[in-house]
Amino acid sequence: MKRLSEERTKILFEKLSKYIGTNVKQLIDRADGTYCFREHRDRVYYVSERILKLSECFSQKQFACVGTCFGKFSKTNKLKLHITALSFIAPYAQYKVWVKPSFEQQFLYGNHIPKSGLGRITENAAQYQGVVVYSMNDLPLGFGVLARSTTDCKSADPLTTVCFHQSDIGEYIRAEDSLF
């Protein structure tokens, strides 16, 4: 359990800001206490300082996890956001994509979203904008990046991919071993 280096913190914030933009600030500047990011075995955890202190009694080896895991740094110092971060990304998301109920299940199996599966989309989203994917009844399903800007989407043909899949809640089952 250690503090992230400045470089890594920066990478983390850059990554987060792709999805939630200026709302990144909300994660740090919270009214209900100090929250911070910690690194444990290359994974980034987001946790209240109060809980963090209590967790320090465990040895590095026996300690498993605290708070919420946001993602994992690769060996090349790239951050991969995990689906577990969704509960903090979804409320702050600026750009959203809704998938049709018929496509929900396919998305949960890790497929990209084609135009035909697209239910709704936030206006003015640019290409490669990070988005949070919702089901039509506003259940956050995962996140990804737009393959087309919103305007392009409208004219795209139904089979073209609109949104690249990055992570979905199906990973809780599919990737339970590698997730934590």
Give the residues lining the site for other proteins (CB under 8 A): 3, 5-6, 9-10, 13-14, 17, 21-22, 24-25, 28-29, 34, 36-37, 47-48, 50-51, 54-55, 57-58, 62-69, 84, 87, 104-106, 108, 111-112, 114, 116, 124, 126-127, 135, 137, 139-141, 149-152, 157-161, 169-170, 172-173, 176-177, 179-180
Closer residue to other proteins, CB minimum distance, 96 or 112: 112
CB of 72 to other proteins, least distance (A): 13
Closer residue to other proteins, CB minimum distance, 66 or 81: 66
User: Which residue from 84, 63, 3, 58 is spatially nearest to 36, judged by alpha carbons?
Assistant: 3
CB of 98 to other proteins, least distance (A): 13
* 141-170 b/e (C-beta count within 10 Å ≥ 16 → b): bbbbbbbbbbeebeebeeeebbbebbbbbb
CB of 100 to other proteins, least distance (A): 13
The rounded distance, in Å, linking the Cα atoms of 90 and 16 is 11
The gap from C-alpha 107 to its chain's centroid, in whole angstroms, comes to 15
- Give the DSSP H/E element, type plus range, for residue 100: none
CB of 180 to other proteins, least distance (A): 4
The answer to whether 156 touches 149, Cβ cutoff 8 Å, is: no
Distances from the Cα of 20 to the Cα of 16, 26, 41, 146, angstroms: 6, 10, 25, 14
CB of 104 to other proteins, least distance (A): 6
